Every structure is written in C-alpha cells, then in structure tokens.
Structure 1
Amino acid sequence: MLKTTVLLRKLTPVSKNLRFAAMSQINKPPEELEEIRAKLEELTESLPEHSAPLQRVTSEQKKFLLKRLLRREKLIKIEHEKGFPPIYDMFMRHHTYLRISLTEKCNFRCVYCMPEEGVQLSPKDNLLTNDEILRMVRLFAAHGVDKVRLTGGEPTIRKDIVEIVAGINSVPGIKDIGMTTNGAVLEKHLKPLVDAGLSKINISIDSLNKAKFELMTRRNAFDRVWSAIEAARKLLPKVKLNTVVMNGKNEEEILDFVAVTKDKNLDIRFIEYMPFGGNKFSNNKFYSYHAMLEQIIRKYGDSVKRLRDSPNDTTKAYKIDGYEGQFGFITSMTDHFCNTCNRMRITADGNLKVCLHGNAETNLRDMMRAGASDEELSDIIQKSVNNKKARHADFRHEQFEEFAKPSYDPHRRVKKGGSSLPSASKIQAFLSASSPKHSFLQNRFFSSDDFNRLTHVDIDGKVKQVDVSTKQPTARLAVAQGTLVLPKEVSIQIAQNTIKKGDVLTVAQIASIMGAKQTSNLIPLCHHIPLAYVDTRFKHDQEKYLLHARSSTRCIANTGVEMEALMACTIALLTVYDMCKAISQEMRMTDVRLIHKIGGETNYLGDRSLYNFEEDR
C-alpha cells in the first residue's frame, strides 16, 4: 500500500487524470472493470518516463500501479489522500455513523410515532434501490464511516433486507451493522441476517403487558416480538430494547423492565417521549428521565450503579449491582447530546439529513440518477455537514425545565421535599456521574451533600457560569498570600539582588499585575471584571529561607475579586521561580491561600495570625 502511495506522488500532473479515473470508478461493480482497465491503460501510456526531475517511473512500476489501483480493498488509503477526508462539521464533530432508512412503511401504528391511519408514502420509484444504497455506503465508508444502522419505517418489511446487509458487510471499513426493528416479523429473518453480517440489534418494546402493548402499538404482536427478543439473545452477544416512556401510558412499568435485567443480558433504553411530525405531542404525556431514575433509586437505592458511557453514546447507562443486564436513558428532551453527535441519516427516498430533528435535507438520489460522480457527491455531503447546527432546535428544551428537576414526578405530582423521595443529593450523585466523553460540554463525576451550593454546576452536573447581571456593583477587596521555600544560595542572591536575570522582585511584582488581568482568560468560569488596583508585596525571611508574597486586589463590580488576588500571588511566586531556576530547581511553592475578602453578599476573614505582614518591598 505504501509503495502504491509513493508511486502516485511521483506521477506528473497528467497522472491526476489517472487518479481521478481510478477514484471516481472505485464503487463500480466487477463486471465494469474491463472498461475501466482500458481507460487506465490509455492514461498510463501517456505518462512520460521522467515524471519530475531526478524521479523516474518505469513501465514496470506503471503496471504495478495499475494492478493495485484496480483492487478496491487496497484503495481506501489512497482515496483519503486524494480527497475523501474524514467528515467533520464546523464544531469539529467527527461523523462516523450512518443511519439508513430502508422504507417508509411500518406494520405498527405506535401512538408516539404515527397516526392510526398511517402517513402518506412516497412513490416506490422514489425509494433508493439496493445498488444505490450500497453505493452510498461505499462512499461514506471511504470518508471514514465505520458504523451503519438500518431503520425504517420497519426495515424487515423490505424483501431484500438480507441482501442489503450482506452487501454492506462486504464494504471495506464497515465494522458494525446494526438494525432498529419492532420485531414483529424479525424472527424468520434473524438467522440469515446474522449470517449476512448483522452485528447489533435494537428491538422496540414499550410494554411487558400484552393488553397495554396492543394499546400502544395498535397491533396484537407481543408474543412475536418477545419471541424475537429471545431468539436474538441466542445469536448476538447483546440485545438492546428501546422503550418510549409516556406519562399515563407505561411509566409505571419502568421497574418491571429493570427487573428483566436481573437474569437476562439485555440493555434496556428508556427513551423520553419527544415531538415529531404526526405524533400529536403533548406536555402532559412527557415523563422525564429524572422521574424515571427516581423510581429506580427509590426501589434499589445504593445498588444503582452508574456505568461509563462510550464516546458519542446517546445513552446514560446504569445497572443494578449484581444484575446481568443494564439499562439507560436517552434524554433528547431534558439533556440533549448534540455536543457529541456523530450521526448522519439517509432517508428512504435518498435525502441526506445531518440532524434527525432538523428540516434541512440534501437530495442525493437525484444527483446519483443524474450521473453525479463520487467526487461530486462527496463535495455536496461535506457542504451539508458544514451547515449542521450546534444543536437541534425544532423545540425548546427550556419548556421542560420543571420536568427535569430530580424531585418532580409528573405521574404522582410529588413536589420537592416529599418524604417518600430520596434526598436530592443522593439522586444527583447518580444523575451527574456521567462518564468522560469527547465533547465540548461534558458531565463530570461528582457526588456531594452540598450539591445545591455548587453555583458553577447545574442540576445535571454540567458546568455553567453564574449570572451576576442582577447584582449591584459594590466595592470589593481581596488579599491572597503564598510562600516560596528557597535553597540557601537562592535566598542569599535574592537578598543581595545579584540574580543574573535582573531584579527578581521587581519583575515578579509587574508579572503579578499582568497575571491578575488575565484571570478570566485562564479560569474558564471567572467573570471579566474592571480591576481598580493590583499590588504585590514581598517579605523575605532570610533565616528560614522563605519568600512570602501578598497580593491585594480591588474593584467596583458585580462579583468578587478573590480569584484575581490568588492569580496575582501565584504568578508572582512562579516568576521568582523562573528568575532563579538557573541557580537551583529545588524551590517549592506552598500555602497559597485567600487571607480575606470584603464586599458583596458575604465577607471572609481568614487566619488572623497572617494579618501582620510587614513587607520588605
């Protein structure tokens, strides 16, 4: 592969035609390769023997190159090099997951998804063919997509479903093939699908009660679905169950679903009910994941364990200690996961949607049928992804703030502080213990009985900046102090002012002022405030070889100035270290602390023994 790449780099500008021809035809079926071969040979013959000064490409090397170019499985690396890069949006989210809707038809009429009379379907000729689907998969795989999920409608309705899975499985670079299904006709297709390459499956089941299942799906199919679940457990290492939770419909079955995981290795995903076309969404039907989790904690207490989520995972995962399976929550309404979204969707009629909840679509089907090359399709795909928003905005999350409070149960209408509920801090320990993800806005691991006093953390454990706009500006003062423990030789030279770099303490004083001004740039949640005064003084204890620094800051602002005082003191000591490190690196900074602050809602008066500070300068 490396040899091929090196040869490509040696070729003249004429060879760009060769590379373009090879790459644009990469997805052609084998029977068309003879025509491609003839074109490549024609282009190869036109190459000069010397493609660049001091670089010689022999006829044997040309033949070797031609042979390699015609082997599709060897072209992925070249393909990336010539213009099929990984797909990133403007927020640096790397897109590696493609969802493909195989059909608009569904044999269920779930109350949260589709009206009882169904929806108007696209003409059959508008739907993607098997070959068009596979071309899309090959193109996206060339861009680094390695996970494909087949959806619908109901994907198992499609007669060529096994052939589609087998075709996708043959595409280089695809590691996982998943499918989301209602399971009604899955069992008869399951073994052929797994043999063809299906590796993951999600089965929708919204009730464990037959009568309620029929009420929610408008179909009498519970036994068939559960039989398919049991069959899938025998063929696949893990089976996921999707359960849409609705207030007044099935919220009282949450504990029943969790109990199923005791001796079955199932991953049950409770999904917040959400609005989309035709499902007649109502706030009264909404049931938040906080309310779901409260039910579970009330039952299982400390046995509920938070699991580590995978990067780009849409689920907050938990399990009951000692249980074989697990459960989780998909929180599209109360806590969206747009920050780590790596998904794209192809609709059944061939439109690219970069956001499931967005209205924007790009018609790839018509471009393919009009003869567009892979390069042209690649260009329009990247442009579409570039327009992806930071988050979906077809509804406002703020309207669900009341539902998102951990102690609010929309079914029981129990208000915060009710004796039947676990403490807010205990619930928060579970809600906020989210695993690290590659994202711009992350949850953090923490558990504190003083959670409600953490002003820089919201109800879900995410960081936030405190809003001080409603506070009145007042005069504020803060004083911080720290110490640098010095080796004897450093202490002597500071006292004698013989450090080669210059006047150590004067430089440190200036640095402390500059550092205080940069506090809001270095501490993420600090506010930028108008400093009125910064001053740092030093006290040199030559007998104990200690250098004490004390920094004072003042301002008239809406918030305090103590972080600026701590920053000034720290920068002063670090500057002394930098000025003296050529003599010794055994210096040690210690005891940086706030001495006192005055102004605002509260004053702080620290250790009074530190108040007497007679500085040397």
Structure 2
Amino acid sequence: MAVLLDTFGRKMEYLRVSVVDSCNLRCFYCSPGQACKPRSLRRQLSREHIVRAISTAAKVGIRKVRLTGGEPLVRKDIVSIVHDIAQIPGINDLSLTTNGTLLKDLASPLAAAGLKRINISLDSLDSSNFEQITCGGQLRATMDGIDAAFAAGLTPVKINMVVMKNLNHHEVERFAKLTKEKDIHIRFIEYMPMLGQDDTWRKHYLPTSEIMSLCSTVSRLEAVEQEELNGPARNFRYPEAVGILGFITPVSQHFCSNCNRLRLTSDGKLRPCLFAAEEVDLLPALESGKDLVHYYQKAALNKPANSDVSPASRGAKKGPLGMVDIGG
C-alpha cells in the first residue's frame, strides 16, 4: 500500500477538496474585505478533473476525502461527483462540509451516492443573529438540512460553530446543551485570523479556554478517548450525554504535529497547509493528461512543520485570503 510522507515523517492520508469557490451565504469571516458582496467565479475544476485528481491521491496513500467550498451544494453535479468518488478504490471515508441551506432535498441523494458523513456550519441558533452573521441567511433552511441529514443516516452529524466574542459567544451554552439529548457532535472553532480582518479578528477572537469555561457552566466536562474519534478536535462530553463536544484550537494551541492533510482548491491548486503560501498547480497536468503522482509528492514535501498562525508568532496580517478562496 502506497504511503505519502512529508519531510517530518507525517503520513498524508486526508485530502480536503474545494469543489467551488462561491457560496449562497456571505458569512463575513469567510470572505474578508468583501462580506455581503457578490464574488465572481474563478475557473473551477470539472467533475472529471476532480475525480482524476482524487483517483491519483488514492494511489499515493490518501484514504479520506472531504468535499468543501465555498458551498459545495451549489454545484449542480455534486451528487454525481460524490458518486464517482465513492467508487474510487482506496477511498474509505468520504464526507462533506456544508452550510446546510440546500441539504433538505440533497441529503438522501448524497447518502445514496455514497456520502458517509456530513459537517454543517452553523454559527447561531437565533434567527436574527444568524441572518446578521450570514448577511441575509435563513436559519430555518439550515435546521431543515440538519433534520434531513439525520433522516438520511449521514451520521454522526457534526455542527461547526465559529465562536466570536460579542457576536455569538453568548449562545455557546445553548449549542452545548444540544448534545445532552441528541447524538450530535458540536465543534467549537476558534475564529482564525484572515488577511483583511485584522481589527475584526482582534475584536471578536475568543480562545478555546474561555469557550470551555462557558460549556462547563452547563455541566462537568469529561474527556473522550481520542481513539474513538479522528480529526483535530479535542473531544469531551457531559455525563450521560448522547452527543460530543469538540474544541478546535488553530490559534491558541495548533495541532500541526499530527496534521495529515493536503488541500485541493477549486481551481486546481494543491496546498500543503491552510496558512502556507506555497501551492502546486495540478490544472496543467490535468488538462494534458500528465501523471499527477509527482505533484502530490511535491506538495507533501512542501508541507511546513507548523502553520505558525498564533498572534504572538505570526500576527493577523499573514493569514490566507479567505476560507471561501481556499476551502474550509
């Protein structure tokens, strides 16, 4: 079985694939400098190019694929893309991250096509606050999408909440309580510094230590053995709770030493790290039919030891352009 290693001995087994760089919501932290404004599409990879890129990834050792965006469900061929990836030998974990607004009608077809799990981005359970954060989104659509995900068996359903001081941090306890009665994973994510958001980030950043303190007001937190779950989250649960609480700390406590992922942008750039500027362009090779193995090896060898995203060592001005441009 092929193994893809970086220069620090980390095994690359996880590929996050952005299938589109547009979204039907305008969450301000995802599109710095252009919140609530329409954006133009860059050239995006075709379905055939996406499938070919992932087929090669499987040959070099990638076993887990997550489809992201932008909002992946705005692609009209997303169900076909999922179906084709699910047929690739070696890919044994296929998941997708979405804002959930289009999921009500797509959850069942996606599951039938081979999707295993789903992450849903949701930053507020209050309709007015949700509308403010997303620049016009409707909470009901996302809640209907969550219900549809459960009905389709896309479990465990994971809810990603970017916690922001003075915007939605007062809802942390409400989110946490959802795990008491429902088999749901609530993942609290630190607001990351993105280029163009210097002042906004400093104003709204809340470290995980404070988020955990808020959760502890609901009940005592018990650590979950990390072997039970994969990914960057530090996982906890309340006594007798059904669901899980996860805390993702890209700023206050980065998890680079265990990072096993590469990223493919919607226009064909392989990125070894979210916060690194280096990219390997796959598009010319995809268009010419050239073998792609070398490009994956090059991307792995370019992977830095650390993302160096913390404010003390890096500063808010050196983050990526925006999550919608790279793939969340």
Q: TM-score, normalised by structure 1?
A: 0.49
Query: Are the equivalent residues in 2 in contact too, given 1:90–1:386 (CA < 8 A)?
Result: yes
Query: Are the equivalent residues in 2 in contact too, given 1:272–1:332 (CA < 8 A)?
Result: yes
Q: 2:248 corresponds to which letter in structure 1?
A: I
What does residue 390 of structure 1 align with? 305
> Structure 1 238/138 Cα, relative in aligned 2: closer, same or farther at 3 Å?
same
User: Which of 1 and 2 has greater Rg?
Assistant: 1
Instruction: Give distance in 2, aligned partners of 1:136 and 1:196.
Output: 19
Query: Are the equivalent residues in 2 in contact too, given 1:261–1:323 (CA < 8 A)?
Result: yes
Shift of 1:135: 0.5
What does residue 296 of structure 1 align with? 215
5+ residue gaps, structure 2, are: 316-328
What does residue 162 of structure 2 align with? 244
Please list, as runs of the form range in 1=range in 2, the aligned pairs for 1:502-517 lying within 5 A after superposition: none
| 1:336 equivalenced with 2:251 (yes/no) | no
SS of 1:99's equivalent?
strand
Query: Are the equivalent residues in 1 in contact too, given 2:95–2:117 (CA < 8 A)?
Result: yes
Shift of 1:399: 7.8
After superposition, the C-alpha distances for 1:286-330 in whole angstroms (9 at most, x for unaligned) are 101100111222342xx3111112486200101110111111111
Shift of 1:127: 1.3
Q: Compare relative contact order (CA 8 Å, sep 6+) and give the higher one, 1 or 2.
A: 2
Q: 2:141 corresponds to which letter in structure 1?
A: R
After superposition, the C-alpha distances for 1:561-608 in whole angstroms (9 at most, x for unaligned) are xxxxxxxxxxxxxxxxxxxxxxxxxxxxxxxxxxxxxxxxxxxxxxxx
Q: 2:177 corresponds to which letter in structure 1?
A: A
SS of 1:88's equivalent?
coil
Q: 1:370 corresponds to which letter in structure 2?
A: S
What does residue 104 of structure 1 align with? 21
Shift of 1:235: 2.1
What does residue 202 of structure 2 align with? 283
SS of 2:106's equivalent?
helix
Instruction: Give distance in 2, aligned partners of 1:152 and 1:397.
Output: 29
Instruction: Give distance in 2, aligned partners of 1:314 and 1:393.
Output: 16
After superposition, the C-alpha distances for 1:226-272 in whole angstroms (9 at most, x for unaligned) are 11111211222310000000011011111101111111111000000
5+ residue gaps, structure 1, are: 1-79, 401-617
Shift of 1:335: 0.3
| 1:186 equivalenced with 2:186 (yes/no) | no
**Root-mean-square deviation over aligned CA pairs:** 1.8
2:149 to 232, 239, 257: 232
Instruction: Give distance in 2, aligned partners of 1:336 and 1:117.
Output: 30
Query: Are the equivalent residues in 2 in contact too, given 1:101–1:151 (CA < 8 A)?
Result: yes
Instruction: Give distance in 2, aligned partners of 1:348 and 1:119.
Output: 17
What does residue 162 of structure 1 align with? 79
> Structure 1 132/332 Cα, relative in aligned 2: closer, same or farther at 3 Å?
same
Please list, as runs of the form range in 1=range in 2, the aligned pairs for 1:341-352 lying within 5 A after superposition: 341-352=259-270
Q: 2:276 corresponds to which letter in structure 1?
A: G
Query: Are the equivalent residues in 1 in contact too, given 2:120–2:146 (CA < 8 A)?
Result: yes
Query: Are the equivalent residues in 2 in contact too, given 1:312–1:340 (CA < 8 A)?
Result: no
Q: Could you list the runs of 4 or more consecutive aligned residues of structure 1 that deviate by over 6 angstroms after TM superposition?
A: none
Instruction: Give distance in 2, aligned partners of 1:324 and 1:224.
Output: 25
What does residue 118 of structure 2 align with? 201
Shift of 1:117: 4.1
SS of 1:111's equivalent?
coil
Shift of 1:394: 4.9
Shift of 1:369: 1.3
What does residue 224 of structure 2 align with? 307
Instruction: Give distance in 2, aligned partners of 1:196 and 1:87.
Output: 28
Query: Are the equivalent residues in 1 in contact too, given 2:252–2:310 (CA < 8 A)?
Result: no
Alignment identity in percent?
36
Q: 1:129 corresponds to which letter in structure 2?
A: S
After superposition, the C-alpha distances for 1:167-195 in whole angstroms (9 at most, x for unaligned) are 00110111111000001111111110000
Shift of 1:221: 1.4
Shift of 1:284: 2.0
Q: 2:176 corresponds to which letter in structure 1?
A: V
| 1:144 equivalenced with 2:48 (yes/no) | no
SS of 2:97's equivalent?
strand
Query: Are the equivalent residues in 2 in contact too, given 1:93–1:342 (CA < 8 A)?
Result: yes
> Structure 1 147/239 Cα, relative in aligned 2: closer, same or farther at 3 Å?
same
Instruction: Give distance in 1, aligned partners of 2:304 and 2:6.
Output: 9
Shift of 1:279: 4.4
Q: TM-score, normalised by structure 2?
A: 0.90
Q: 2:279 corresponds to which letter in structure 1?
A: E
Query: Are the equivalent residues in 2 in contact too, given 1:358–1:394 (CA < 8 A)?
Result: no
Query: Are the equivalent residues in 2 in contact too, given 1:351–1:365 (CA < 8 A)?
Result: yes
- Count of residue correspondences: 310
Please list, as runs of the form range in 1=range in 2, the aligned pairs for 1:467-546 lying within 5 A after superposition: none
After superposition, the C-alpha distances for 1:190-245 in whole angstroms (9 at most, x for unaligned) are 11000000001000110111111111111231011011111211222310000000
Instruction: Give distance in 1, aligned partners of 2:206 and 2:172.
Output: 11
SS of 2:286's equivalent?
helix
